[in-house]
């Protein structure tokens, strides 16, 4: 059996608008300046707590950041599906891949959100959908990847990891997995070339499908 593990945000679903709105809702409760879509795009990659730390002004207290997390969560629970968009052609590609491979999602998104969002747009496509937990390490730590592999019963040499940010690259390295980096997500190709210049990039979903089939 061969396995393909996908990052979620920026790889299989465009969740940027929803994340921006949820962050800005939390900021607005403190009357802080709101963040642009591009700022949020650059802040994403290490989980919601880190996203909020980067979005709030320097020196924000730990107590305020904890409260901001609850504000973010309250807003996001109501809107994380309607403010997210699956990438065009992704469902069709995943459906074809499912005929040959076992598919999984590994995301720094909170585990219940990850499961509900993925199942909403890609029902019964993924064997495992593994999100993160507030008290456990997040990517690029290999914890949630290893938890996913354990559920799959997969060997690392049988797997390919697909992501869109340098955090995903480091996650794959830390997890000893082969990897492919997409450039249609939350980092431009120019940004990726600067930060992880030696990676295997694909620019479109069509190219991604071909690369997966050539690699596994």
- Give 156-167 pLDDT, tens digit per residue: 999 999 999 999
**Residues 192 and 144 placed together within one structural domain of the fold:** yes
pTM: 0.93
pLDDT for 168 equals 97
Statement to judge: residues 57 and 93 lie in one domain: no
Please check whether residues 117 and 71 belong to one and the same domain.
Answer: no
pLDDT band at 104 (very low <50, low <70, confident <90, very high): very high
Residue 46 has pLDDT above 90, yes or no: no
Mean pLDDT for all residues in the chain: 96
In this predicted structure, the answer to whether residue 34 has a pLDDT above a threshold of 90 is yes
Supply the CATH number for residue 43's domain: 1.10.150
State yes or no: pLDDT of 45 exceeds 90.
no
Last residue of a domain, one of 79, 97, 123: 79
Number of domains in the chain: 2
Is there a single domain that holds both residue 92 and residue 128?
A: yes
Q: Tell me: pLDDT of 47 over 90.
A: no
Asked whether 16 and 43 are in contact (CB, 8 A), the reply is no
pLDDT (0 to 100) of residue 182? 98
42 and 109 in one domain? no
With cut-offs at 50, 70 and 90, classify the pLDDT of residue 53.
very high
Region 52-69: mean pLDDT is 95
Residue 71 lies in domain: 16-79
Could you give the percent of the chain with pLDDT greater than 90? 96
Instruction: Taking residues 143-166, report their average pLDDT.
Output: 98
pLDDT of residue 7: 98
């Amino acid at each position: 059996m061969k396995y393909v593990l996908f990052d979620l945000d920026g790889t299989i679903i465009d969740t940027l608008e929803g994340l921006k709105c949820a962050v800005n809702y939390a900021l607005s409760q403190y009357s802080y300046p709101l963040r642009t879509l591009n700022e949020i795009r650059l802040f994403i990659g290490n989980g919601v707590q880190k996203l909020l730390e980067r979005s709030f002004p320097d020196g924000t207290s730990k107590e305020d950041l904890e409260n901001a997390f609850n504000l973010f969560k309250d807003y996001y629970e109501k809107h994380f599906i309607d403010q997210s968009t699956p990438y065009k052609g992704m469902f069709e590609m995943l459906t074809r891949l499912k005929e040959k491979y076992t598919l999984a999602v590994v995301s720094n998104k909170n585990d219940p959100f990850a499961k509900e969002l993925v199942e909403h747009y890609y029902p019964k496509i993924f064997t495992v959908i593994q999100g993160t937990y507030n008290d456990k390490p997040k990517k690029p730590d290999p914890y949630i990847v290893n938890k996913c592999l354990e559920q799959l019963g997969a060997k690392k040499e049988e797997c390919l990891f697909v992501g869109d940010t340098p955090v995903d690259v480091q996650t794959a390295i830390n997890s000893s997995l082969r990897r492919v980096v997409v450039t249609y997500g939350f980092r431009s190709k120019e940004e990726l070339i600067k930060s992880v210049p030696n990676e295997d990039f694909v620019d479109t979903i069509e190219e991604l499908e071909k690369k997966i089939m050539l690699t596994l």
